Chain A
Amino acid sequence: MLELKLISKRLGAMDMTGVSMRLERGEYFALLGPTGVGKTVLIEIIAGLIRPDAGGVFWDGVDITSDPPENRGFAVVYQDYALFPHLSVEKNIAYGAKSARADTAEISARTARLADMLGITELLPRKPDTLSGGQQQRTAIARALATEPKLLLLDEPLSALDTNTRTRLRGELKRINAELGTTILHITHEPEEAMALADRIGVMLDYRLRQIAEPEELFRRPSDAEVAKFLGIRNVLTVSSVQDDICEVSGQRIRASAATESTRHIWIMPEELLLSDQPFTSSALNQFKCTVIDWDHSDALLAVQLACGDLRLVALITYTSFQQLKIEPDRELYVTFKSSAIHCL
């Protein structure tokens, strides 16, 4: 089990403070955040390539903060693969096992097994610069796994690959985690990738770990507006004041069952917004007269942007509704949503 306790590090413009987290054995953990928030530095601190200014790295309760990287048994896979250009694919994969002075038969058996698992057996005699990006990344993953790492650290491993290769490699990573039981810490800037792979997701913004949660939980209850915004969640609204269960937002009064005095933001899933020609009557509902500004496609649905005075909302509707409502710019409609559908942050 990996544990980070209050890791701090200053490096150039980066000022990371108080990062703490735990990783259970066998877990697939995604560290999610935009580029340049210190994710790679954090991984290199875990790997022992960078010393933190303060705080500690623990494995099964043992402080390994000052252990050199070669004694930790954590393998790193980088976005640019970092294969050894002077060695064949086979020798790249065997490199770690050779460092550990495993016997030759065992090394070649392990290499063959991993090459087979990742589908790169035919590439074993080739040099890295003759391989495609996907093949290089498979080699890099095999090389890391050949050391039988206690922890596999993946630094944006799929970001440089085309969509098809990325999807296939995602499957492989998931399989490695499930079949070999390898504990994985995976850095990514794509919420979708984290969602597809991870048991738990940690969101990192501005050099701080802002929230750790299971994927559904994270997307259902982002800890604050910035996290929600980064996750691509729409309709995160800033609350200017709260009175009982009424939140004042951009000059409109919105009833939110879960609102408390400390509510600073509210979030309504775009799917929860109902559009209609005529108003409904119910006190449990929030209802506003609004104008259509624009719309765009969101998978099979349409995201319609609405203005209710200064309040801006996005509603997801089907094509059928779109046609029935005769949506066009400046069209006037009623938008309705339940007070219980509002998440308070």
Chain B
Amino acid sequence: MSENAHKKSSLFRRWWFELLLGALGACLLLFVLAPLGGMIYATSIGELSQAAAEDAVIQSIKITLLAALFATAGSAIFGIPLAYLLARKRFFGRSLLLAIVDLPIIIPHSAAGIALLMVIGRNSLIGKLTGGGLISTTAGISVAMAFVSLPFLVNAAREAFAAVPLRLERVARTLGASPQRVFFTISLPLAWRGILSGMILMWGRGISEFGAVLIIAYHPMTTPVMVYQRFNDYGLSAARAVAVLLIVICIAVFIALRLVSRIGASEGRDA
């Protein structure tokens, strides 16, 4: 064996495991990126601008983004306190609560939509009070989105709170801070980044919701529903243009949000 070949084989022996891990990981990334890339590549600028010029498409994107935003904001008000309790307190039934929070992930989303109909549909209590319920309203869409995506927010916030050292909260108490002051000045600021990324995740999951939304409201039409409708009525390329437009907008918004949250975090660090 020549010295060079020997060197090469010892290099391989040293790195083969890392190479294997990298290769397997790359396969998975390709699995995600290939269909998306293929779809974007197959869509011409003309098709895209045509879709973007269509009022119905723009309207649906607006409804989708806003409904998911309301869903996230609403869930944050109720979800962040719950996340804090789950992170900090040990009580009887805590693991049951953890399981309940995860329920929406495992329930088929169409089934979730049916279940929600019982609560916000025409014949429900809310339906009778409001005269028709939240069926076919943006509010109804938000409710459907919130139901299926709140685990992402609650779990991320719970982990973020759990990562704040308990000792910091205790020290703050001995310095004269009430539990609520500790929450707002220590726990929340330190967990904020994790909570924000949970909110971004929840918002994204809300945008992509199809099954539950379809049951609650075919109209006003969210973009995922519109993609399905266009695919059924006009075929692949019509559906593809709308889908790509939504994806492009979502990616742009996500990148912007990530940047803003990072700048916010580093400013907090330097202040």
User: A residues bordering B, Cβ < 8 Å?
Assistant: 44, 47-49, 68-70, 72-76, 78, 80, 82, 84-86, 88, 95-96, 99-100, 127, 143-144, 147, 153
Contact = CB atoms under 8 A, between A and B. Distances in A.
B173 A82 contact: no
Contacts of B174: 47-49, 69-70, 72, 74-76, 144, 153
A99 B175 contact: yes
A70 B168 contact: no
Interface string B231-271: 00000000000000000000000000000000000001111
B37 interface: no
B170 interface: yes
A69 B186 CA distance: 16
A82 B181 contact: no
Contacts of A143: 175
Given A70-B176, A99-B176, A78 B269 contact: no
14 contacts: A44-B170, A49-B170, A70-B174, A70-B177, A73-B176, A75-B174, A76-B170, A78-B167, A84-B172, A84-B186, A86-B189, A86-B268, A86-B269, A127-B270
Nearest to B269: A127
B178 interface: yes
A82 B269 contact: no
A144 B175 contact: yes
Q: Nearest 5 CB-CB pairs, A to B?
A: A96-B175, A99-B176, A69-B173, A99-B177, A76-B174
A72 B185 CA distance: 20
Q: By DSSP majority rule, is chain B's interface helix, strand, loop, or mixed?
A: helix
Nearest to A88: B271
B171 interface: yes
B268 A100 contact: no
A82 B173 CA distance: 12
A69 B269 contact: no
A75 B268 contact: no
Contact of A147 (B167, B168, B176, B178): B176
Interface residues of B, number: 21
B171 A70 contact: no
A72 B176 CA distance: 8
Interface string B40-74: 00000000000000000000000000000000000
A84 B168 contact: yes
A89 to B, nearest CB: 12
A47 B171 CA distance: 10
B190 A76 contact: no
A115 B74 CA distance: 44
Interface in B146-201: 165, 167-168, 170-178, 181, 185-186, 189-190
Nearest to A74: B174
Nearest to B175: A96
Nearest to B271: A88
Contacts of A99: 172, 175-178, 181
A153 B170 CA distance: 13
B173 A49 contact: yes
Contacts of A95: 172, 175, 177, 185
Nearest to B170: A49
A145 to B, nearest CB: 11
B170 A70 contact: no
